[in-house]
Amino acid sequence: MNTIKQHYEKYWQDREDAFTSYERNLVLPGFFQKGEHVLDLACGDGTVASFLQEKLNIKVIGVDISNTAIKQAGKNGVEAYVVDAEGNLPFKDNTFDVVFWGDNIEHLFDPFQTLKEIKRVLKSDGRLVLSCPNMGYWRYRLYYFLNGQLPDTEWTGLPPWAWSHIRFFNISILKLFLKEAGFKKITKVVGVSKRKIDQSLLNISPSLFGMITVIEASL
């Protein structure tokens, strides 16, 4: 078993997530429509996929690198498979209306390869919904200015060499990344923060006041 897989097997042991416990999830219903066929890429224990199925009547298939997470997703009523997000996705071309790529891109060595696979399995009019930490967030900028190093966006308290976040994005970089892969239009950008000081300013500048970015792109 490789080191990455071992990390996520350990991560998902004895872990239980509630949909509303993560502030990003509160904005997700606005990105999906009833009747869509959705791939949840790096689905974890199926918390998001289960919500979409039960509350929005959306058909979701999940994939994740962790056997432990996939077992939990199955218990949550999600059809899910063990798949490495940086490998080939086991689906035919033009299969899904939407791919939800939630808080995984920052963990990958070669996210562009993953994005190419996402594009392949999306229908010609399909959409990608992607979320990740926003390194343009004002508190992260201030932290770097004061300390000369990146902040721990996982809030683990671990030193930088022990982080599982290995790629860092802001909204401008994400837009360039998506354009480079052939996504023609950014259809929605939402900034998310649980801090009250940010919430009144998110609509003005999600790139500055969003701790988390959720971005939607279409082919």
- Per residue in 132-187, pLDDT (tens digit) is 999 999 999 999 999 999 999 998 999 999 999 999 999 999 999 999 999 999 99
pLDDT tens, 91-134?
999 999 999 999 999 999 999 999 999 999 999 999 999 999 99
Cβ–Cβ under 8 Å, residues 138 and 216:
no
Q: Is the dihedral of CA 100, 102, 104, 110 positive or negative?
A: positive
| pLDDT surpasses 60 at 45 | yes
Query: What confidence tier does 5 reach under pLDDT thresholds 50, 70, 90?
Result: confident
* Mode of pairing for the β-strands spanning 122-133 and 212-218: antiparallel
Q: Residue 34 has what pLDDT?
A: 92
Q: What percentage of the chain exceeds 70 in pLDDT?
A: 97
- Please provide the average confidence, as pLDDT, over all residues in the chain: 94
Q: Give the separation between CA 76 and CA 8, rounded to whole angstroms.
A: 18
Q: Which residue type does 39 have?
A: L
Note the pLDDT of residue 109: 95
Q: Lowest-pLDDT range, 4-18, 26-40, 97-111?
A: 4-18
214 versus 56: which is more confidently predicted? 214
Q: Which two tokens stand for residue 20?
A: 């509303």
Amino acid residing at 196: K
**pLDDT band at residue 16 under the 50/70/90 scheme:** low
CATH code given to domain 3-12+20-136+168-218: 3.40.50.150
Say if residues 168 and 106 touch (Cβ distance below 8 Å). yes
Q: Tell me the residue length of the chain.
A: 219
